[in-house]
């Protein structure tokens, strides 16, 4: 869930909401997702399937809906992978400025350097190899990077609190200090929260690979814990950075969080320590989203929603080899777009995540988990409403911060690719039926 946005694009969060507006946006945006987390927990207890959204919707809706849900959520996870592949070069260039040499071309006004491309491709190859060789390796890798990040987070958060000043929080919102300005500031941040909190629903994708003695009721607890920790991390980081330096001085800085700490403490060593935490964060988010994207493709192939070869398992490593290769190739291709896509990706990913959550809540309300109590219906309805509002905030043109041409093009391109794969698969199945 927690990647490198808190280092690379936190200035975008401040420009959207200001100090308090950004904190409130992540806090409110995270809290309203707990009904969605409840839905995922209950569905996973009843349907422990790697397909997650695919399996839940297949239980109550037509095949086309199941494909659309799975394809959309695959996009939500997969789009994070090039984000991290692009980011690794930027992270390493802070420690090794020599990487900002040998310019190749530019996209969106941002120069792409050869060493950055090489770093992104190398990391992608490592992540592909880890996920090709088995989920046990991937899980151990995830544990080490996660706990390493948390240890570093505890150190720099404490230091930031000691050195910070509440005077740096001014102005509290990015818009004028009024009720309307505060609401708009928080709304602008709320729009991107789904992207940065996507991941609490990743547990169901690995439910088939859980330990034999893992009790199903613990899935809900794990999902709640993941969401709660994600909210806590983002709100605290935004607050610490805003206390350390006036947030307006961080806008358009290449590494806003690093800049704030270096200005406050005058210590390059401390900042490099924080950058190591960022690097661990990048590794774990890349690995986690790569894993979930491949498992969704595997599940869709198993249900013959896409080519069945996506469900082929490696004889030795027991991993979906074609799904791993497919996600790896798309990551490589998209990573050549460079850092200009980082903010765009967060907008597109937010819509994809919210759409998957919305359809999942509808499946839950339609009986995918069996007969529901009054409480379950109420919570599921709230989850569906929250997801629908998050979708509308991105597609309604009169809402500040809604989709622009690039975001619509990226979403449309993924939808077009899915439509082509769906039609090819349907045609293949129909030909087989006629030949019998």
Q: What is the pLDDT of residues 40-65, one digit of tens each?
A: 999 999 998 888 899 999 999 999 99
Average pLDDT for residues 137-149, to the nearest whole number?
Answer: 79
Is the pLDDT at 211 greater than 80? The verdict is no
Is the pLDDT at 359 greater than 90? The verdict is yes
Question: Residue 189 contacts by C-beta under 8 Å, 6 or more apart in sequence?
Answer: 13, 16, 17, 21, 22, 24, 25, 26, 29
Determine whether 411 is exposed, middle or buried from the number of CB atoms within 10 Å of its CB (0-12, 13-18, 19+). buried
Query: For position 385, what pLDDT does the model report?
Result: 96
Q: How far apart are CA 61 and CA 364, in angstroms?
A: 11
Is the pLDDT at 282 greater than 80? The verdict is yes
Q: What is the pLDDT of residues 389-417, one digit of tens each?
A: 989 988 888 887 788 888 888 889 889 99
Name the phi and psi angles at 4, rounded to 5.
Answer: -115, 10
Q: What is the pLDDT of residues 76-119, one digit of tens each?
A: 888 888 888 888 888 888 888 899 999 998 887 788 999 999 99
Residue 265's domain comprises 5-435
Determine whether 183 is exposed, middle or buried from the number of CB atoms within 10 Å of its CB (0-12, 13-18, 19+). middle
Task: Say if CB 294 and CB 323 are below 8 A apart.
Answer: yes
Is the pLDDT at 345 greater than 80? The verdict is no
Q: Which residues pair with 313 in a beta bridge?
A: 320
Q: How many domains does the chain have?
A: 1
Is the pLDDT at 177 greater than 70? The verdict is no
The domain spanning residue 157 has which CATH number? 1.20.1740.10
């Amino acid at each position: 869930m927690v990647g490198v946005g808190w280092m690379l694009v936190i200035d975008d969060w401040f420009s959207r909401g200001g100090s308090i507006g950004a904190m409130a946006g992540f806090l409110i945006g995270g809290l309203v997702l707990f009904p969605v987390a409840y839905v995922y927990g209950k569905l996973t207890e009843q349907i422990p399937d790697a397909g997650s959204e695919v399996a839940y919707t297949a239980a109550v809706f037509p095949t086309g809906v199941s494909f659309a849900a799975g394809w959309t959520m695959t996009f939500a996870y997969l789009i994070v992978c090039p984000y991290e592949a692009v980011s690794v070069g930027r992270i390493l260039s802070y420690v090794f400025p020599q990487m900002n040499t040998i310019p190749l071309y530019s996209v969106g006004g941002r120069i792409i350097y050869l060493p950055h491309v090489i770093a992104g491709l190398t990391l992608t190859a490592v992540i592909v190899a880890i996920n090709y060789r088995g989920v046990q390796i991937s899980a151990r890798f995830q544990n080490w990077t996660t706990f390493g990040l948390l240890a570093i987070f505890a150190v720099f958060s404490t230091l930031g609190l000691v050195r910070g000043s509440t005077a740096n929080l001014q102005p509290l919102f990015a818009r004028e200090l009024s009720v309307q300005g505060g609401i708009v500031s928080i709304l602008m941040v709320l729009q991107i929260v789904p992207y940065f909190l996507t991941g609490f629903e990743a547990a169901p994708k690995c439910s088939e690979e859980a330990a034999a003695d893992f009790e199903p009721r613990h899935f809900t607890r794990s999902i709640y814990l993941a969401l709660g920790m994600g909210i806590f991390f983002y709100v605290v980081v935004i607050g610490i950075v805003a206390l350390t330096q006036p947030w307006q001085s961080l806008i358009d800085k290449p590494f806003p969080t690093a800049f704030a700490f270096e200005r406050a403490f005058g210590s390059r060593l401390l900042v490099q320590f924080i950058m190591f935490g960022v690097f661990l964060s990048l590794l774990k988010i890349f690995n986690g989203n790569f894993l979930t994207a491949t498992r969704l493709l595997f599940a869709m192939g198993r249900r013959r929603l896409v080519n069945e070869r996506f469900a082929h398992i490696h004889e030795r490593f027991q991993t979906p080899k074609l799904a791993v290769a497919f996600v790896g190739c798309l990551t490589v291709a998209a990573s050549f777009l460079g850092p200009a896509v980082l903010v765009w990706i967060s907008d597109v990913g937010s819509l994809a995540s919210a759409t998957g959550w919305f359809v999942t809540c509808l499946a839950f309300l339609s009986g995918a988990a069996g007969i529901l109590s009054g409480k379950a219906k109420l919570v599921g309805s709230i989850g569906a409403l929250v997801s629908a509002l998050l979708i509308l905030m991105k597609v309604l043109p009169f809402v500040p911060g809604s989709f622009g041409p690039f975001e619509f093009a990226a979403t449309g391109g993924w939808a077009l690719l899915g439509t082509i794969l769906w039609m090819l698969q349907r045609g293949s199945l129909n030909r087989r039926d006629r030949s019998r």
